[in-house]
Chain A
């Protein structure tokens, strides 16, 4: 091919291209739109292939892991709420735990003791031997009031007296009285007293309510134990092998508080043991004037012979 032929070829192509530029031939608009729409669709797919997480739609991508994370946490919390109570039901805390038991017992007592701390001091029982008559009256009033809820023929004796407007409870009666000269002690009594009362209640609850227990408590002068045993139904005049009643044992040991308690609970002041000896005879033989006076006020007679 010569250079002339090449020039003619180039000139022919140039003429064709000039003619082509004047040609209005073009694809239809629908075809153009379809092509560009397809290109955008494929581009979106290709972009996702390049970036598994679509960076142009962070919220949409966040939702995936957020749903997974929050769903898992929510399921765990829901499971815990559903199953933990069942676990506690099948595995309750140890019942023998002294702390929890004391806490449960102490709760009402603490309320009572708190009320005591706030209440006027004269309402509390005084066991001071310096005023036996007043003390006896307080005890008699207290017991008479207690038994007013379950009256019996025995209770209708001379121990009846006007009931206080706010009768003290058993816990109040036998709680340790704080020293009157120590006002600061009242605060501790509201707490420590309540706890000690709870421990006492627990100890009393563990006692075996038998006549021998009552006789032992009477001889030792343990007013609280004796009261507890009586509350549990132990006969107040239960006798031992020698025919002695708890009252006789308390008189023999000079336990004025126990004597007062037993008389208030209806102990027979004229009962005699197997040798025919009465509590009043015992008191006089032992020169226990307070005890003898208490017995006499309860109806004890010197001339009793059984």
Chain B
């Protein structure tokens, strides 16, 4: 059977039976989406590459026990998110953890809320770039939890419920993060609309 017609779950099952070609096809299918999620989450090329290897090694080594109880992408981006959070924790670079008292339950700090209000400078930076660069730049300026939730939705195609499972948050919190993230992006990109 043509591997391109196989679902992610079937490809993973076939790899669990020893078909290396099935994994290669699966990897090619999700490679860039996972990497973009990691790259835009940690904002560092080298760290993204390290995380990329860790994530896919975890997928490979978990193939023997893989059971398709959920979408493969949910499982894949859950691994990616957890690895990313672990790295940021170690490096003390997760802004929400560093924000301390300044962050609310949605991970939105006072500074973020001000940005949404359109009172900050990033808009001036966006104006000097083309639309694609502006969008990516705007995403990079989102608070970590909001950015992560938005990227899981945009890159991984996860639903709110799946994002909640992947990030270990409750449904309403994820929904709120996504709402804030979209509002801020619209604010940042209004000139390109």
Contacts and interface: CB of A to CB of B under 8 A. Distances in A.
A39 interface: yes
Query: For this complex, into which size category does the number of interface residues on chain B fall?
Result: 35 or more
B79 interface: no
Contacts, number: 97
Interface of chain B, helix or strand or loop or mixed? helix
A46 B154 contact: no
A46 B16 CA distance: 6
Nearest to A46: B18
B9 interface: no
A16 interface: yes
B36 A44 contact: no
A35 B57 contact: yes
A120 B2 CA distance: 98
B182 A12 contact: yes
Given A15-B189, A35-B60, A26 B27 contact: no
A19 B126 CA distance: 14
Most buried by B among A12, A15, A27: A27
Interface size class of A (residues with CB under 8 A): 20 to 34
Contacts of B192: 15
Interface in B39-67: 39, 45, 48-49, 52-53, 56-57, 60-61, 63-64
Contacts of A17: 154
A9 B132 CA distance: 17
Interface string A1-31: 0000000110011011111101101111001
A86 interface: no
Interface in B7-33: 15-20, 23-24, 27, 31-32
Contact of A15 (B18, B23, B57, B131): B131
A250 B64 CA distance: 110
A179 B125 CA distance: 140
**Interface of chain A, helix or strand or loop or mixed?**
helix
A51 to B, nearest CB: 8
Interface string B150-179: 000111000000000000000000000000
Contact of B39 (A9, A25, A38): A25
B36 A25 contact: yes
B23 A39 contact: yes
Nearest to A17: B154
Contacts of A27: 31, 35, 48-49, 52
B186 interface: yes
A166 interface: no
Nearest to B132: A19
A13 B27 contact: no
A34 interface: yes
A211 to B, nearest CB: 101
B122 to A, nearest CB: 16
The 3 closest A-B pairs by CB, nearest first: A47-B18, A19-B132, A43-B20
26 contacts: A9-B182, A12-B189, A15-B192, A16-B135, A19-B135, A19-B136, A20-B136, A22-B132, A26-B32, A27-B31, A27-B48, A27-B49, A28-B49, A31-B49, A35-B27, A35-B52, A35-B53, A36-B24, A38-B56, A43-B19, A43-B20, A46-B17, A46-B18, A48-B18, A49-B18, A49-B64
Interface of A: 8-9, 12-13, 15-20, 22-23, 25-28, 31-32, 34-36, 38-40, 42-50
